[in-house]
Amino acid sequence: MAIAEDLFQTRPYAEIGVADVARAAGITHGLIYHYFASKEALFIAVCEDRAKQLLESSLPDPSFPLPERAERAIAGYLDFVEAHRVSYLNLFRGPNAMEGEFLRICDETRGKIMDYFLDSMGIAEVSLPATRLSLRGYLGFAECAVLEWLEKPTVPRSWLERLIATAIGSALRAGLALDIQPLAPEITAMLDRYDEHLASRGRPDS
């Protein structure tokens, strides 16, 4: 798996075969097939492990205030995808991107990110269909923006971080305004502090 992961970080998925993994590992094809039914099964296992590492990098201690949590989460996420640029592009841009198991891994990872934010705000147990839908839209925006930036970095990373941070606050505020009426004062105050924190940062460095 470690060797397959190394290859996944340096070459497009379609260009990697079981023979490449076996050659790099100094073993036979048969030994790989003893543990994994196919190339896809091997790389699904690799992606599951990679998704766990991504979550560890991008879900900071929930005891931090919301603005700092978001900043640390975004920075950790971008640190991780920059360090694993090719494998991230492989996962979302490669021919495997629409396959069932790869979709499952991506959806489960998105779900854990959504749960993290709601849990850290103390509202994970509340029925929040609009907020979850809004956060799912935010994650789609963030993934698309990150993919575009990895392929064509036309703006500084600090600008990308600000775009994503603004989208988180907007998604939470829009969804919660529909799900909870009236919105609890402590939640309103938390969102206000988030917006004030972003405003206080001024324009990011170029």
Domains present along the chain, CATH in parentheses: 2-201 (1.10.357.10)
Omega into 182 within 30° of 0, i.e. cis?
yes
Please state, in angstroms and rounded to a whole number, the distance separating the CA atoms of residues 109 and 203: 31
Cβ contact 106:114 at 8 Å: no
Can you give the pLDDT of all 206 residues of the chain as single tens digits? 888 888 877 777 778 888 888 998 898 888 888 888 888 888 888 888 888 888 988 888 878 888 888 899 999 999 999 988 887 887 777 665 556 788 888 889 999 999 988 888 888 888 899 999 999 999 999 999 999 999 999 999 999 999 999 999 999 999 999 998 888 898 899 899 999 999 998 888 76
pTM to 2 decimal places: 0.83
Please state, in angstroms and rounded to a whole number, the distance separating the CA atoms of residues 43 and 60: 27
The total number of residues written for the chain in this structure:
206
Cβ contact 15:97 at 8 Å: no
Cβ contact 161:37 at 8 Å: no
